[in-house]
Amino acid sequence: MSGAWLGTLRVVYAVNLIATFKTKNPIIGVVHLAPLPTSPRWGGSLKTVIERAEQEATALAAGGVDGLIIENFFDAPFTKQQVDPAVVSAMTLIVDRIKNLVVLPIGLNVLRNDAHSALAIATCVNAQFIRVNVLTGVMATDQGIIEGQAHELLRYRRELGSEVKILADVLVKHARPLGTPNLTTAVQDTIERGLADGVILSGWATGSPPSFEDLELAVAAAKGTPVFIGSGADLDNIGRLLPAADGVIVASSLKRHGKITEPVDPIRVSQFVETARLINDQKAKIDNSLPSLPLST
């Protein structure tokens, strides 16, 4: 398999992923679902969960985000493997309802790492992408040791005949890698060996951003495959971080008072989106002013 062929493959992945969001620099908002059936804090009313999810999705869409991720965030503590069938059923219903409310690309993250369920739901409801916390490698987490199952997930995607894209975390938050992997190597393995369509770089915890330097390293290692900021982005740091990334996934800072337990604040969404778009426009002008380099053969 030649290096030129691999380079072409990466470009195809990147182009397809960017086309999904109708923009080169997507701003993806997150809908944190209230506790679902069988989770420790389940409140007993799926109707209440659905109504809040619909309100948050509508607020994010009205604020101008380019896509949504639906996530069972408040089901903690999470299982490290497959979630209960009731969770799959509830998330399928909720995503389908949201798709009828907003005209945006939608993705799923079934925590902590049930990528098979996420892919199945996304495929069945015609969602566009999933987020996978551990696609490759081995991570020590608060759920225990989680091993990436890229070989199973990619075969499952082929078996389903699915075109759902896979955004994979690299050295995911709330986890530590076994051993001392190099960030550059981890990004390359996630893309070249795990076949991720995009990679996500976060800080060490929810609400904690990655460093600018790590984003630069990740983008260089990704060689054209999109790199997303996965946590901690807000109005104060987005000007520093976004120039080094292709897109951003944002949740906590878009909520009332910036608190994760509060509902989405439409004003915060609009302010963040406006700021991020200005930064992306400035970056595009700089990129367009640079001379084109000939493609290697």
pLDDT of the residue at 204: 74
pLDDT at 163: 95
Residue 293 in any domain: the answer is no
For residue range 89-134, list pLDDT tens digits in order. 999 999 999 999 999 999 999 999 999 999 999 999 999 999 999 9
Residue at token pair 């078996």: 159
Quick: pLDDT tens for 63-95. 999 999 999 999 999 998 899 999 999 999 999
Q: Could you report the per-residue pLDDT of 135-173, keeping only the tens digit for each?
A: 998 888 888 898 899 999 999 999 999 999 999 999 876
**Three state DSSP letters for the chain:** CCHHHHHHHHHHHHHHHHHHHCCCCCEEEEEECCCCCCCCCCCCCHHHHHHHHHHHHHHHHHHCCCEEEEECHHHCCCCCCCCCHHHHHHHHHHHHHHHCCCCCCEEEECCCCCHHHHHHHHHHHCCCEEEECCCCCEEEECCEEEECCHHHHHHHHHHHCCCCEEEEECCCCCEEECCCCCHHHHHHHHHHHCCCCEEEECCCCCCCCCCHHHHHHHHHHHCCCCEEECCCCCCCCHHHHHHHCCEEEECHHHEHHHCCCCCECHHHHHHHHHHHHHHHHHHHHHHHHCCCCCCCC
pLDDT band at 15 (very low <50, low <70, confident <90, very high): very low
Please check whether residue 297 lies inside any domain of the structure.
no
Q: Are 38 and 84 in contact (CB under 8 A)?
A: yes
Number of domains in the chain: 1
* pLDDT for residue 294 is more than 70: no
The mean per-residue pLDDT over the stretch 8-25 comes to 66
**8 Å CB contact between 244 and 215:** yes
Q: Is residue 294 domain-resident?
A: no
What pLDDT, on a 0 to 100 scale, did the predictor assign at position 106? 98
User: Would residue 64 count as lying in a domain?
Assistant: yes
| CATH code (residue 207) | 3.20.20.70
Token output for 201: 């770089």
For residue 203, give Cα distances in angstroms to 98, 121, 181, 233. Answer: 29, 28, 16, 10
For residue 16, pLDDT beyond 80: no
Both tokens assigned to 124: 């069945």
- In angstroms, the CA 251 to CA 246 distance is 17
Predicted confidence at residue 203, as pLDDT, reads: 79
The pLDDT value recorded for residue 293 is 52
pLDDT on residue 6:
47
Maximum pairwise Cα distance, the chain: 61
Domain assignment present for 203: yes
Residue 49 lies in a domain: yes
Residue 14 has pLDDT above 50, yes or no: no
- Distance between CA atoms of residues 125 and 123, nearest Å: 6
Determine how many CB atoms are found less than 10 A away from the CB of residue 160: 14
Q: Domain range spanning residue 62?
A: 3-133+141-287
Q: What are the b/e assignments for 224-240, b being 16+ CB within 10 Å? A: ebbbbbbbbbbeeebee
Bigger pLDDT: 272 or 139?
272
1 has pLDDT over 60: no
Does residue 237 lie in a domain region?
yes
Looking at the chain, the whole-number percentage of residues with pLDDT higher than 70 is 89
- Within a domain: residue 201? yes
Rounded distance between C-alpha atoms, residue 173 and residue 200, angstroms: 10
Among residues of the chain, what percentage have pLDDT more than 90? 75
The answer to whether 269 and 63 have CB atoms below 8 angstroms apart is: yes
Higher-confidence position of 206 and 144: 144
For residues 215 and 154, is the Cβ–Cβ distance under 8 A?
Answer: no
Measured between alpha carbons, how far is 132 from 199 in angstroms, rounded to an integer?
A: 9
Question: Among 168, 253, 255, 179, which Cα is nearest to 209's?
Answer: 253
